[in-house]
Amino acid sequence: MTQLPYTPPVDFLDLLLDAVCVVDPDGRFVYVSAASEQIFGYRPDEMIGRVIFDFVHPDDIDYTRQTAEHVMNTGSIRQVENRYIRKDGSVAHIMWTARWLTGDQLRIGVARDITQRRRNEAVQGALYAISEASHTATGVEDLHQRMHDIVRALDIPSFQDADSQSDADRDHWQLIATQISEALARRELFDRLRYVAQYDPLTGLPNRELLSDRIRTTLARARRQQTSFALLFIDLNGFKRVNDSLGHAAGDQLLQRVAHRLTKSVRESDTAARLGGDEFVILVERISERHSAHDVANKLHMAFKKPFVVDGAELDIIPSIGVAVYPYDGEDEFSLLKHADNAMYTAKGRPRPG
């Protein structure tokens, strides 16, 4: 039977997974348990005699000073966190519980390494950020930038720091890379589908659906701000003759050249759209006077003065243009388009069929 008093064969503190540290009032280590090497990368003899701020992350020095003062003033703290720089240069996230021993004039603290926990939380936050960015980014380029920012903010050893990476770190990077790849692929698919749904595949101009959406947006703003806008309905005279004489491929080239010329003839804030066939509509936003819409129509006529060259043939194409101005010629999308359509047929010199 063991007799008391019992003298242990080893220091019990060296069996702890957490590091026990004792510092004097000047912040110098006077004792460090064996777990320090696992947590900080330094053996106890490499830390004893040095001040704690030799090891603290530079960004956390002021906070650590305040925490040390708080312990000496109040007697103890529980579960406060700061960062240390390990011997290999990597960052360790440490959670401390500490007490001030007034009689001995010593501060004793227990340090727990929570680096992996913080990395796990950072990765989880990054995954949420990736998911949110994939839904809110304005496009693939914006999404690429957001992904770059997310990755740059991660406090995890990078692939260039392979020596300081753990297996968990490599698994984290693989997970993040997979999520980013899938998010970019989904966004690219979404953008392609949206483009197909909203743009004319031949000319690249907005189609009827996108034009309608922009008219509704412009109409709401005009009603709210009591301003005017115009719709110009355009039909190409002689287009059928081009198709019949030169073929549909030449007709398609002509439509593409017309689309380019229309786009160059209006402001960036305006919309040139193709409804189908040889019919186009220009949405002219924010006009100050009613006659301003007719000035735009005259500018478009001038743009068609120069012949179009298709397959070496010069084609003189004259547009018929009908104008409708909100609110004078209609107060909703349907009535404005109908007025502009009828005005276009009037410009052709014949009534609208049907």
Residue 312: how many CB atoms within 10 A of its CB?
5
- Spatial separation of the C-alpha atoms in residues 334 and 327, rounded to whole Å: 13
Higher-pLDDT residue of 9 and 64 is 64
Q: Which fold has domain 14-113?
A: Beta-Lactamase (3.30.450)
Per cent of the chain over pLDDT 90 is 66
Residue 249's pLDDT is 92
pLDDT in tens, 170-183: 888 888 889 999 99
Residue 259 C-beta-side C-alpha neighbours within 13 Å: 22
pLDDT range class, residue 351, cuts 50, 70, 90:
low
Which residues are CB-contacts of 344 (< 8 A; sequence separation ≥ 6)?
233, 234, 235, 320, 321, 322
Higher-pLDDT residue of 125 and 2 is 125
Residues 317/304, Cβ–Cβ less than 8 Å: yes
pLDDT range class, residue 8, cuts 50, 70, 90:
very low
Cα-trace Rg, the chain: 37
Token pair in block for residue 138? 């304005």
As beta bridge partners, residue 309 has 314
Residues 182/234, Cβ–Cβ less than 8 Å: no
Residue 56's pLDDT is 95
Residue 312's pLDDT is 83
Token pair in block for residue 11? 């220091």
pLDDT in tens, 65-98: 999 999 999 999 899 999 999 998 888 999 999 9
pLDDT range class, residue 190, cuts 50, 70, 90:
confident
pLDDT in tens, 229-267: 999 999 999 898 888 888 999 999 999 999 999 999 999
Task: Count Cβ atoms within 10 A of the Cβ of residue 191 and give its class: 0-12 exposed, 13-18 middle, 19 or more buried.
Answer: middle
pLDDT in tens, 260-294: 999 999 999 999 999 999 999 999 998 988 888 99
Asked if residue 113 has pLDDT above 80, the reply is yes
Task: Count Cβ atoms within 10 A of the Cβ of residue 249 and give its class: 0-12 exposed, 13-18 middle, 19 or more buried.
Answer: exposed
- CA distances in angstroms from 99 to 79, 149, 304, listed in the order given: 12, 40, 86
Report the Cα–Cα distance between both ends of the chain, in Å, rounded: 115
Which amino acid, residue 122? A
When pLDDT is averaged across residues 17-36 and rounded to a whole number, the result is 93
What's the mean pLDDT when you consider all of the chain?
89
CATH of the domain spanning 208-348, picked from 3.30.70.270, 3.10.20.30, 1.10.10.10, 3.30.2310.20: 3.30.70.270
When pLDDT is averaged across residues 8-19 and rounded to a whole number, the result is 76
pLDDT in tens, 136-167: 888 888 899 999 998 888 877 765 555 566 77
* Structural domain spans, the chain: 14-113, 117-198, 208-348
Asked if residue 353 has pLDDT above 70, the reply is no
At CA 110, angle to CA 104 and CA 113, rounded to 5? 155
pLDDT in tens, 193-226: 888 899 999 999 999 999 999 999 999 999 999 9
